[in-house]
Every structure is written in C-alpha cells, then in structure tokens.
Amino acid sequence: MTEKEKCAAGLLYDANYDKELIRERIACKDLCQEYNELKNSDAENRSRLIRRIIGSTKENICIEPVFWCDYGYNIEVGEDFYANHNLVILDCAKVSFGDHVFIGPNCSFYTAGHPLDVKQRNEGLEYAHPITVGNNVWLGGNVVVLPGVRIGDNSVIGAGSVVTKDIPENVVAVGNPCKVVKNISEEK
C-alpha cells in the first residue's frame, strides 16, 4: 500500500518523506503562488487557475488571495462559493463545500492530524480525516475546522471559533471549542 493509499484509508501515513506526496504538494503550492500573484483585475486567469488547483468546482466561485492548499485535488466546491482573504485548506483528505458557502477572512480547514506518540510524530507520520461543509453555511473570520468535522446545512459558525466536533443543521455555533448556542428558526 502506498503512502497516498494509506492516507485515503485514514491510516497513519508518511507525509513528510514520501516522494510522490512531496512532488504533488510542491506542484500545487506553485499553482497557489501563481494564483496569489495575479492581479485582482485579471479575472479570466484567476478563474482558469483556481479551476486547475481545485479538484471540482461549479460555475460561480470566488477565492480572494491569499489562498493555500496542499494538494487541491481533494477539494470540492459547490455553486456560489465565496472565501475571503487568507484561506488555508490542508486537503490531505477530502474537503467538500456545498452550495452557497461563505467563508470569512483568515479561515483554515485542517484534515491532517498528528499522533500523540512522539516517536511516530518524529518519523513524519500523520493521519487525515475528511471535512464536510453543507449548503448555505456561513463561517465568520478566523474560524478553524479540524479533521473529521461535518457542518450541517444552513448553519453559522461565529468568528474565532475552533470547530472540533460535528455541528448540526440550522444552528448558530461559536467558541473554542465551538458549541451550538441557538437554533435558527424560519420565523423572522
């Protein structure tokens, strides 16, 4: 089993020394750097390049620079996706965003984690678990989403939150660790 296959299976894998994974990360980061250096007025090339970086997108997508990810091919973005400046997606595992997702500035999505065992950690081993963000989700600025988290449709994550566990649909959740503080009702 290759290191990439171990990663996909959610097993410990060698992220730091595996030549294939290193090569893929370097290629993706070169594309991210090129994207980040484009003029904002160069919409055509920005659109073309972000579609080369991200594995799957729908029609309307806007990611403000600066944007970094590890591989790109593990990211799926729905329709009407907007991410403000300084988005970081460590996409060792799949990161899926539904339709109408809005992400504030300085947000991070981390699928990678490291073992508590110091010997394994020093050997460069890590694991990766997917992140799923539903439809119509709004994440305020400086939100961090950790490995394996699912955020339900129509939910709002307050600025500065650290999302360590699943968040259900139709709620407002805030804090470190992020917790549900209220249900969102249809009534106005």
Q: Domain limits at 141?
A: 3-181
Q: Which two tokens stand for residue 185?
A: 């009702």
In a domain, 88, yes or no: yes
- 63-109 pLDDT per residue, tens: 999 999 999 999 999 999 999 999 999 999 999 999 999 999 999 99
Instruction: Single out the catalytic residue among 85, 100, 114, 129.
Output: 114
Q: CB under 8 Å to 182, separation ≥6 — which residues?
A: 171, 172
Q: Say which CATH number the domain at 137 has.
A: 2.160.10.10
Domain count, the chain: 1
Dihedral sign of CA atoms 161, 46, 100, 89 in order:
negative
Q: Verify whether residue 114 is a known catalytic residue.
A: yes
In a domain, 187, yes or no: no
In a domain, 71, yes or no: yes
pTM, entire model: 0.95
- 1-54 pLDDT per residue, tens: 999 999 999 999 998 889 999 999 999 999 999 999 999 899 999 999 999 999
In a domain, 14, yes or no: yes
In a domain, 186, yes or no: no
